[in-house]
């Protein structure tokens, strides 16, 4: 499962990086004559209502989507794991961290993201911030729960009684128990980041036009769904593809990081 | 008392606990679980610490190690280890002693190894903490040697295995190897090391303890509720009841003539060959250990369950009396009871 997911994700990245080398890419070139053309050899995925090449826009859009998702997930991982471990170990810090992260969790996800973007204004960086704020509480809670579950476990007690320091116990003995669920959360967060980014740009809150985004392309294609359905099918398919590959990776990681299933595979 | 034990006591002790009291913080105040405990352990001596579940044995051990649970608190007393007072040392210094010169073999082999880490990683980590000067290749070599020493077969293959791939007995051997891998252990605390194991494995592990104790010349504090284990391995015994030491004696003396009614009760409730014909029921001690959160009573903590209770037992807590060479008893009536027991035993 993991290898299938990784293969699919690699293909998506290759598509994003290599397509510009194979075909001329011009996501912004407007041509009134070429508008709403069906797929052909000149325009492999057709053209949109302004005559822009759909393939070019899709490729540049994947770049934006993946960049946002990677940045947001990296931030979520760093702060989520760090804050989760600290708040699991130290009750005084936990009070503050948990109150804040819990109060973020009470908002329905997309509503919170819309609020953040409405306050900060639509831009690529702000989408990253919104997705980060949306997903970091889940990672904090996952890591914190694992730390609390294991901080008084016999094996932690044993490590401590053989001279391991608090930091060593936290990082080398407790955290490995949290890696599995954290990885699953992060890969789900990654795929949700792509969905949220698409949703936000669909609503016009993502990277502002004329930057081509997957969500923005679907949004623009709504009016032409009867006359030019390819405009909607291509970005819809690539979003599905990206999310599927990341969910496969998440499931695969969970299986791999569970020592029991790993031993059974040996 | 054997000559060995006398020699061990006259030399400066490895561990000397004086007046140690430990309490748990609860919403309604402090609950004292270890009360005014004195304990001395000479170099190369094996001291058995017996008591029922909840008598404070493990908390005493964790106080010595400086790894009390977060809700526990030391109220007073001193813990001298090889001369230095562990209570006055900064925690980081005590931490450096743990696993190096003081080590513990935990109670539950099934849960005391980290399920996410390979055996080799867990063994070499102890060296990584205490012997950073040893290169990582040599650490693995030491780990294999140590596993060989504690009788783990296929030692080099075990390094790559996870705890759940090993049986309980093997895991306990690994835990022993972890405790001793630094090679400088002076005090080994074994907290019910065989309780979770079946009888045949238990015998093997005890043999291993005795062998290692001799070859490494360690002092061992052997915590158990099993008097059979004590008889097999310990030289001296301390009996704990409700957080207090109620009797300390040489192991042979204790089994031959227990002075405290509680010790007496413990020994009577052991099945022995030859006694079956006389009695159809195994005697037991009525009642149960008083809950540590119950109001502290004035008198003897064992009074409620004691068949020999008199008025003074309810009024005044008995002191730990010296009762012969190397023996002490916490009972108002030990002297007249001993005489009585001797007569009864003669009749039996």
Domain annotation for chain A: domains and CATH numbers:
52-265 (1.10.3720.10)
Rounded to a whole number, what is the largest CA-CA distance in chain A?
78
B113, B126, B164 member nearest A260 (Cβ): B164
A159, A165, A260 member nearest B114 (Cβ): A159
Kindly identify which residue of chain A lies nearest to residue B105, measuring between CA atoms: A158
A112: its two tokens: 């919170």
The C-alpha atoms of residue A165 and residue A159 are separated, in whole angstroms, by 9
Do the chains contact at A172 and B178, CB–CB below 8 Å? no
User: How many CA atoms within 13 Å lie on the side-chain side of A113?
Assistant: 31
CA angle A113, A79, A200 (to 5 degrees): 20
| Alpha helix (H) residue ranges in A203-258 | 214-221, 230-257
A161, A168, A172 member nearest B98 (Cβ): A161
Q: Which 20-79 residues of chain B touch chain A by CB within 8 A?
A: 62, 65, 67, 69
A153, A163, A263 member nearest B130 (Cβ): A163
Count helices and strands in chain A by DSSP H and E runs: 11, 0
Kindly provide the ipTM of the predicted complex, given to two decimals. Answer: 0.80
Do the chains contact at B103 and A162, CB–CB below 8 Å? yes
**Interval B266-286: pLDDT, tens:** 888 877 665 555 556 777 777
Domains defined for chain B, CATH in brackets: 3-91+187-199+219-347 (3.40.50.300)
Check CB contact of B108 with chain A, cutoff 8 Å.
Answer: yes
Chain B positions in Cβ-Cβ contact with residue A165 (cut-off 8 Å): 92, 95, 129
B65, B98, B111 member nearest A153 (Cβ): B111
Strand partners, B250: B236
Dihedral, A139, A82, B95, B102 alpha carbons, nearest 10: 30
CA A156 to chain centre: 33
Could you tell me how many residues make up chain A?
266
Check CB contact of B118 with chain A, cutoff 8 Å.
Answer: no
pTM of this structure:
0.77
User: How many CA atoms within 13 Å lie on the side-chain side of B68?
Assistant: 22
Question: Of all helices (H) and strands (E), which one includes residue A186?
Answer: helix A175-202
* Radius of gyration over every alpha carbon of chain B, rounded to an integer in angstroms: 21
Nearest-CA distance B130 → chain A (Å): 8
- Cβ-contact B316, B299 below 8 angstroms: yes
Chain A positions in Cβ-Cβ contact with residue B126 (cut-off 8 Å): 162-163
Check CB contact of B90 with chain A, cutoff 8 Å.
Answer: no
Residuewise pLDDT in 10s, chain A (266 residues): 888 999 999 999 888 888 777 777 677 777 777 777 777 777 777 777 777 888 888 888 888 899 999 999 999 999 999 999 999 988 899 999 999 999 998 988 788 889 999 899 888 899 999 999 999 999 999 999 999 999 888 899 899 888 888 899 999 999 988 888 888 888 888 888 999 999 998 988 888 877 888 988 888 888 888 888 888 888 999 999 999 999 898 888 878 776 565 544 43
Do the chains contact at A173 and B114, CB–CB below 8 Å? yes
B69, B96, B115 member nearest A163 (Cβ): B96
Probe site for chain A from B62, B116, B163 (most A CB atoms < 10 A): B116
* pLDDT band, residue B161 (cuts 50/70/90): very high
User: How many CA atoms within 13 Å lie on the side-chain side of A263?
Assistant: 14
Probe site for chain B from A90, A154, A158 (most B CB atoms < 10 A): A158
């Amino acid at each position: 499962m993991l290898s299938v997911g990784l293969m699919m994700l690699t293909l998506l990245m290759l598509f994003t990086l290599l397509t510009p080398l194979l075909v001329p890419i011009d996501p912004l070139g407007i041509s009134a004559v070429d508008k709403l053309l069906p797929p052909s050899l000149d325009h492999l995925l057709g053209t949109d209502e302004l005559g822009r090449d759909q393939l070019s826009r899709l490729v540049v859009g994947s770049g934006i989507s993946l960049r946002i998702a990677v940045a947001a997930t990296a931030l979520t991982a760093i702060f989520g794991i760090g804050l989760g471990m600290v708040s699991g170990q130290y009750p005084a810090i936990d009070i503050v961290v948990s109150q804040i992260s819990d109060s973020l969790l009470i908002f329905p996800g997309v509503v919170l993201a819309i609020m953040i973007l409405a306050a900060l204004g639509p831009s690529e960086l702000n989408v990253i911030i919104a997705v980060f704020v949306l997903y970091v509480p889940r990672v904090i809670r996952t890591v914190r729960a694992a730390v609390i579950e294991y901080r008084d476990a016999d094996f932690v007690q044993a490590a401590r009684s053989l001279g391991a320091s608090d930091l060593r116990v936290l990082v080398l003995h407790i955290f490995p128990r949290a890696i599995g669920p954290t990885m699953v959360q992060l890969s789900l967060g990654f795929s949700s980041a792509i969905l949220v980014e698409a949703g936000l740009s669909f609503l016009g809150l993502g990277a502002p036009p004329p930057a081509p985004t997957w969500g923005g392309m679907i949004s623009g294609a709504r009016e032409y769904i009867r006359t030019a359905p390819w405009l909607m099918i291509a970005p819809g398919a690539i979003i599905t593809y990206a999310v599927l590959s990341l969910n496969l990776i998440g499931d695969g990681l969970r299986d791999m990081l569970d020592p029991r299933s790993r031993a059974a595979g040996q | 008392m054997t000559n060995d034990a006398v020699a061990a006591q006259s030399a400066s002790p490895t561990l000397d606990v004086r007046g140690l009291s430990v309490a748990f913080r609860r919403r309604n105040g402090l609950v004292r679980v270890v009360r005014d405990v004195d304990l001395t352990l000479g170099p190369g001596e094996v001291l058995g610490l017996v008591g029922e579940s909840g008598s404070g044995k493990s908390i005493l051990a964790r106080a010595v190690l400086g790894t009390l649970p977060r809700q526990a608190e030391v109220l007073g007393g001193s813990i001298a280890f090889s001369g230095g007072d562990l209570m006055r040392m900064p925690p980081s210094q005590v931490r450096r002693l743990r696993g190096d010169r003081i080590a513990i073999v935990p109670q539950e082999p099934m849960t005391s190894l980290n399920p996410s880490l390979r055996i080799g990683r867990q063994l070499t980590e102890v060296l990584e903490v205490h012997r950073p000067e040893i290169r990582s290749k040599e650490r693995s070599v030491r780990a294999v040697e140590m596993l060989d020493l504690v009788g783990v077969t296929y030692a080099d293959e075990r390094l790559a295995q996870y705890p759940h791939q090993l049986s309980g007995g093997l895991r306990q051997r690994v835990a022993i190897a972890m405790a001793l891998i630094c090679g400088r252990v002076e005090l080994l605390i074994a907290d019910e090391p065989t309780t979770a194991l079946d009888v045949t494995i238990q015998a093997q592990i005890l043999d291993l303890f005795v062998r290692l104790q001799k070859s490494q010349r360690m002092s061992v504090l052997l915590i158990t509720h099993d008097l059979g284990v004590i008889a097999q391995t310990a030289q001296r015994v301390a009996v704990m009841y409700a957080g207090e030491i109620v009797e300390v004696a040489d192991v042979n003396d204790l089994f031959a003539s227990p002075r405290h009614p509680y010790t007496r009760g413990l020994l009577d409730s052991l099945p022995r060959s030859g006694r079956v014909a006389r009695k159809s029921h195994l005697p037991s001690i009525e009642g149960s250990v008083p809950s540590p959160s119950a109001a502290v009573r004035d008198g003897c903590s064992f009074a409620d369950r004691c068949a020999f209770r008199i008025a003074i037992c309810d009024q005044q807590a008995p002191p730990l009396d010296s009762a012969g060479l190397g023996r002490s008893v916490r009972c108002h009536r030990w002297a007249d009871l001993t005489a009585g027991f001797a007569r009864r035993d003669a009749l039996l």
